[in-house]
């Protein structure tokens, strides 16, 4: 097995790194403090080919695989995880759902705008009272001739306000029935479709999170993705790939926090020598480096399975769980290595620390990943 990036993959990773340095790094704390969502940067990312990474070129995408996708999300997240999160959610959730489950007419209609970054996508599954228990959702889609009428709301939605288009899962059957939910595409400006509260968050503050609200929102049956009743099953498959996204985001945070800590530990002198020479610090760095290697291997094995059309549910859950829990631990140790300076906004580890926690929650909590893994290994 070849563990090295190809020349093309190295070029893609370097392009993402240069993009992050030029367009993101100068504004990190400004966006974080004000919770500004830089939609213009995502449009620019589209010009670079980062908004339709695995979408075929005929739909305006880059036509890359998941190894390249991990590299892009990782490099951007090493600089600002908020932007890494937004790009990941756009690719794997909204755009991915239309690509994997839309018919040809739907792909031709929506993918070129999404894959080029002209439009920013949102994806709505979670509700106020149904987080991990998504099957108990209350948002409904009632058939009315050639249309469906949507009522309800979704929360914790990335790009809930700024998104031009959303893929929304709504109940078309009985509550709790895995085949009682369907997926719909709803464009911004559709009567009855509005944005609600924007969340004030601990971390990932430059990635917009808000409600989607549906009040007798009437959409044509042509906006149904796949068949009626397939929405929840589709969502589970989308989340398989989404876990690779969050794993890549976690890996970027881990590497960013580790590299900052390694640099600081070599430069910071106490008792007449660099703190890196003290075992208490050097062992933390050793643990960080090891967990990063393990996360990377799990993620790229998951990418290999995904690229080859193999089932990735179990390994993707393992990769997401391990990488996300590791990034929280690494970010925590990074603050500790920096001491008092790590608790200030003058050093990057404070923000990595705040941003890291979302990775153990979004797109399936660590506890849900353990449910998925244990269920599959006990079959």
Concerning whether 363 is annotated as a catalytic residue, the answer is yes
Q: How far apart are the first and last CA of the chain?
A: 29
Q: Name the nearest CA neighbour of 88 among 326, 299, 366, 354.
A: 299
Integer Cα distance of 154 and 143 in angstroms: 20
Integer Cα distance of 305 and 308 in angstroms: 5
Helix (H, G, I), strand (E, B) or coil at 152: strand
A 10 A CB-CB count for 345 gives 11
* Six token digits for residue 21: 């340095």
Query: CA 7, 11, 14 angle in degrees (round to 5)?
Result: 135
* Six token digits for residue 37: 């969502």
Q: Name the nearest CA neighbour of 370 among 311, 309, 305, 322.
A: 322
CA atoms within 13 A on the CB side of 179: 1
Assess contact for 169 and 229: CB atoms under 8 A: no
Q: Which of these is catalytic: 74, 75, 363, 367?
A: 363
List active site positions.
Answer: 363
């Amino acid at each position: 097995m070849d563990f090295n990036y190809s020349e093309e993959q190295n070029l893609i990773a370097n392009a993402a790194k240069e993009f992050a340095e030029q367009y993101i790094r100068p504004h990190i704390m400004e966006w974080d403090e004000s919770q500004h969502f830089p939609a213009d940067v995502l449009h620019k990312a589209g010009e670079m080919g980062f908004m339709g990474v695995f979408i075929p070129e005929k739909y305006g995408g880059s036509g890359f695989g998941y190894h390249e996708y991990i590299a892009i999300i990782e490099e951007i997240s090493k600089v600002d995880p908020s932007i890494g999160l937004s790009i990941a959610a756009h690719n794997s959730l909204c755009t991915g759902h239309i690509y994997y489950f839309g018919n040809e007419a739907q792909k031709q209609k929506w993918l070129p705008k999404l894959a080029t970054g002209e439009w920013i996508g949102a994806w709505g599954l979670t509700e106020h009272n149904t987080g991990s228990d998504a099957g108990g959702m209350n948002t409904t889609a009632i058939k009315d001739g050639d249309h469906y009428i949507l009522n309800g709301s979704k929360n914790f939605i990335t790009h809930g306000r700024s998104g031009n288009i959303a893929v929304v899962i709504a109940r078309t059957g009985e509550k709790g029935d895995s085949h009682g939910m369907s997926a719909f595409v709803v464009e911004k400006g559709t009567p009855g479709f509005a944005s609600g509260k924007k969340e004030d968050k601990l971390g990932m503050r430059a990635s917009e999170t808000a409600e989607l609200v549906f009040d007798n929102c009437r959409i044509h049956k042509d906006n149904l993705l796949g068949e009626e009743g397939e929405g929840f099953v589709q969502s589970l498959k989308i989340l398989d790939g989404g876990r690779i996204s969050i794993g890549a985001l976690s890996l970027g945070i881990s590497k960013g926090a580790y590299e900052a800590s390694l640099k600081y530990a070599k430069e910071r002198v106490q008792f007449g020598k660099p703190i890196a020479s003290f075992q208490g610090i050097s062992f933390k760095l050793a643990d960080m480096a090891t967990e990063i290697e393990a996360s990377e291997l799990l993620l790229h094995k998951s990418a290999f399975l995904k690229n080859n059309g193999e089932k990735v549910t179990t390994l993707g859950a393992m990769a997401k769980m391990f990488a996300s829990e590791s990034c929280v631990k690494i970010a925590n140790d990074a603050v500790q290595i920096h001491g008092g300076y790590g608790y200030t906004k003058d050093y990057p580890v404070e923000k990595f620390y705040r941003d890291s926690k979302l990775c153990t929650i979004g797109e399936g909590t660590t506890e849900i990943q353990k449910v998925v893994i244990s269920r599959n290994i006990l079959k």
